[in-house]
Structure 1
């Protein structure tokens, strides 16, 4: 067994054949039956050995990263490949994927989150873990190349049996496809993703949120003025701007400008509250109830930079808590199937009713406008937006 001074990293030569060798990190030693990993690279060529050793080292790094992850809430965690006590003889390494090999779905999730999960909200991580955890629970934690169309259709059938709505099934399948495709691309594996092209009724169990009639909106706004507190200011602000609830809940005081020639609110991304899409960043004129609410928010602010401090006590805006509280308050006053998000639907209908051009509607609501040309320029000025907002006031 000879260590050649010019041998590629993580290799040594024996009888002219290159071997891979790497020590197991001390914090992961309990997963292995040997203190080092060693196996033949089956080549006498230094360049070939270097390429194979580099690939094996990268795959070990991925696997060790996966072993270090503490996924307490991951469904199917009991099926993750943890390389616990096996029948591997002492002195031999656990199998490492080489040319044409794959990784297990649990490892694919680790690759996906490590490379694509940086600076993403916690919901991104949860979606990947939850969706792929469902696959692991139902079909097992297999190599990506081992999943079949039968696995995918069985997975679909179980989700349907659990009475998930078509929209939920679509999100789950979309996440699983993304994880598999990304991981396969990263490790250089070509596959036909079996979770593509699976049929199910996408409208099953889906209930459209209804818009709020204008007279109901006026009634709710009147109640907001009567109660005149932080929660009602949020409702009023959303009611005449069409902001998403999370957009409103994560506002800073400096995002609200009531002293400008055209009072407006600036919707922009913050570390504590991301925006749904790039087109969500925008300025929306303040009129009617939203202007009243903005002034009340600024006048009541003390020792805080947030418009709604009760929902910004942690690292992330707690929009879910705001939604639960406000929807409970709204329920007796609004028609069935109407929620806080219905104000956003209503704003689009109200703008349609005054024949507002569709691209202006999209800019006010932060919706994506189709067509390449709409991506050019800065959009409509606040004076134009205010004209149409006043028309629906």
Structure 2
């Protein structure tokens, strides 16, 4: 079940508490109050669609708050700073002499200092915010690349592929954070490969074939972004080295014995919950996990 969604009338809404140390990013430009939660309509009556949208918003907020806490340079932080001041990218070029613009820049660069004190060195985040205000150019991030790829219909609609796509991108964002595309490097690609390997349950982690499948969920997205956003960069995921790729297919898993299957089914009947229904159905039918889970969910009481 997806978190942070709730029904209201015939629509689904997103509600989530904002951590205390991140509320400044969501300050209302009119009231100047820092809210305790985000709450807005997902503009859909379909629960499945609302869940997908909520996952996307949750990932976006997680990346924003993580970047803020770790001091990473993130255009979403700059956008939040501008919105909190009632400004938009490019306003500095349109209205350079208006008080809201000049006051914002003075605060941003800590220019309201005592005449006997030296101003502090501006942070990289402050420089990015100033550039966005004055030029209107908003740097593209990994999330922007992912969203553009989906918007263009390039992601597979097959359920298993969608699940693998989401897992791959969750791992990538865990490795890199939602960084700007021009800061994406070969080192990030290599770290992604190592992270995918270590996620495997076997003694040697995931094999080369699994790593290659995960790379195919990431590399085409970066290629799409480079083309659509007209970026002057190479795709660091192209030609990345997969360790032990020449070792071939690993030894397949051994099948359960009849007695083991019988024991599993007995435990499923004893537990009698949604997960155990799915396990029992798989043991009886040999069906695909995604299809069985969907059927089990439809049969769950109250769902």
Do they fold alike, i.e. is TM over 0.5? no
Provide TM-score, normalisation by structure 1. Answer: 0.34
Provide TM-score, normalisation by structure 2. Answer: 0.42
Larger radius of gyration: 1
